[in-house]
Structure 1
Amino acid sequence: MILDKFRLDDQVAVVTGAGRGLGAAIAVAFAEVGADVVIAARTRPELEAVAEQIRAVGRRAHIVAGNLAHPETTAELAAAAVEAFGRLDIVVNNVGGSMPAPLLNTSTKDLRDAFTFNVATAHALTSAAVPLMLEHSGGGSIINITSTMGRLASRGFTAYGTAKGALAQYTRLAALDLCPRIRVNAIAPGSILTSALDVVASNDELRVPMEQATPMRRLGEPADIAAAAVYLASPAAGYLTGKTLEVDGGLTFPNLDLPIADL
């Protein structure tokens, strides 16, 4: 049955930034198709709530609370997965972000911090995970969460867009270095209704124009990204590596312009 190829039965996944939003949705979706999940984020109460959802579908959850802005902290998650569950099959590098700002208000430190949080953390966990994947599972799947702003241009996203663009290229390079036993792919979300868009979701004057500027005429749901992650992690995507799935409602240009004036 083709649906069997989308199962992750008895596999072990690590998902960073899993206390809410996309990370939480991905972690729960993995559990729903049979995986045990190590979930990591800064806030333990949020992780406890996600762990409860994972256990409710009959799978195991292991919580690691910590500041994932530090690459050395993310690197430790690979060993934590093997210690908790005896193996490691899937890594989702979801943690990241950066506040928008005009270019002239973006310092070199801002750019460096964005690169560290979005790219160096992913590399730290990936490089720690790969030897353990090979030793305990024989292979695996790594998924990086990039962004539509890594390929589109809009004012205010110098640091964030540059870092996410770098993560997309990192995905392509890592895939070649690690094939054929480890697959490395990415998901580039568009505008997804997580807490980051709470202001938009509750304001028709902001939300409606964004919806109209999106070819699918709606904003995304976390489940849209979780479904893509299940596919990339599963045997169904066994012939796919080095690619980015653009789960963005068909965007070819940004659907929200920040109010940054001309010079």
Structure 2
Amino acid sequence: MILDRFQVPGKVAVVTGSGRGIGAAAAVALAEAGADVVISSRTESDLAKVAAQVTERGRTAHVVPADLSDPVAAAALAAAAVDTFGRLDIVVNNVGGTYPRPLRETTPEFLEEAFRFNVSTAHALTTAAVPAMLEAGGGAVVNISSNMGRMAGRGFAAYGTAKAALAHYTRLAAVDLAPKIRVNAVAVGSTATSALDIVVSNPEIKERMESATPLRRIGEPEDIAAAILYLASPAGAYVTGKVLEVDGGLQTPNLELGLPDV
């Protein structure tokens, strides 16, 4: 059965930024497919809700409240998986993000912070996970990039640069870790997470974004979770070093910030 290839029974996954949004949906999807999960974000109450959903699906969630903007804290999740479940097979580097800011207000420090939060944390967890994945016979890493890593929009110099770096990091890491560990990414388009609360709660802005999106809607976290499951499971066994665009068909940004000419 082809659907069997989307199952990950007995596997163990780490999902960062998994208190809500894409990370939460990914953790639940992996649990539905048979994995136990280590979930981590800042807010323990959010994680408790996700853990309950994992339990409802017959799997176990190990909750690790942490500030994952610190690469050391991100790396520690690999050991948490091994200590709790005895193995590690899947890593989803979901934590990240950076607020838009005009270019002339984007200081070198702000740019470096964006890089650390979006790229250094992913690198720290990935490298920490490698020994456990090799001991388990192989593994899969899925990085969450963005369509702003390949498109140009005003105000996104820090965020777009960091996500573009994460996308190319994915390609480079895939070569270094082949053939036993696959590394892929999802380039996410506008998705209904807390980061877009202001947008999706404004009917006029939401309609404008949907009209500018070929599929005429904003994405749902489950849209991204489905792609993550594909890349993390045997269904994606012949895929590595790739960036899967899940963005409703966007070729240009669907929301302009209205920043004036300099």
TM-score (norm 1): 0.99
Alignment-mate amino acid for residue 223 of structure 1: E
Cα deviation code 1:149-193 (max 9, x no counterpart): 000000000100000000000000000000000000000110001
Alignment-mate amino acid for residue 92 of structure 2: V
Matched, 1:100 2:100: yes
Structure-1 separation of matches of 2:168 and 2:49: 34
TM-score (norm 2): 0.99
Residue 23 of structure 1 aligns with which residue? Answer: 23
SS of 1:118's partner is: helix
Alignment of 1:23-102 (within 5 A): 23-102=23-102
Deviation, structure 1 residue 203? 1.1
Alignment of 1:117-128 (within 5 A): 117-128=117-128
Residue 178 of structure 2 aligns with which residue? Answer: 179
Alignment-mate amino acid for residue 159 of structure 2: Y
Alignment-mate amino acid for residue 102 of structure 1: P
Structure-1 separation of matches of 2:120 and 2:3: 35
Structure-1 separation of matches of 2:53 and 2:204: 34
SS of 1:144's partner is: strand
Alignment of 1:210-225 (within 5 A): 210-225=209-224
Deviation, structure 1 residue 132? 1.1
Structure 1: where are the runs of 5+ without partners?
A: none
SS of 2:254's partner is: coil
Structure-2 separation of matches of 1:183 and 1:144: 11
Determine what percentage of the aligned residue pairs are the same residue.
65
Structure-2 separation of matches of 1:21 and 1:73: 21
Deviation, structure 1 residue 204? 1.4
Q: Aligned-pair RMSD on alpha carbons?
A: 0.5
Deviation, structure 1 residue 142? 0.2
Matched, 1:252 2:251: yes
Structure-1 separation of matches of 2:202 and 2:106: 28
Deviation, structure 1 residue 205? 1.1
SS of 1:218's partner is: coil
Structure 2: where are the runs of 5+ without partners?
A: none
Structure-1 separation of matches of 2:199 and 2:76: 36
Q: Which one is further off, 199-208 or 95-104? A: 199-208
Runs of 4+ with deviation above 4 angstroms: none
SS of 1:146's partner is: strand
Matched, 1:14 2:14: yes
Alignment-mate amino acid for residue 235 of structure 1: P
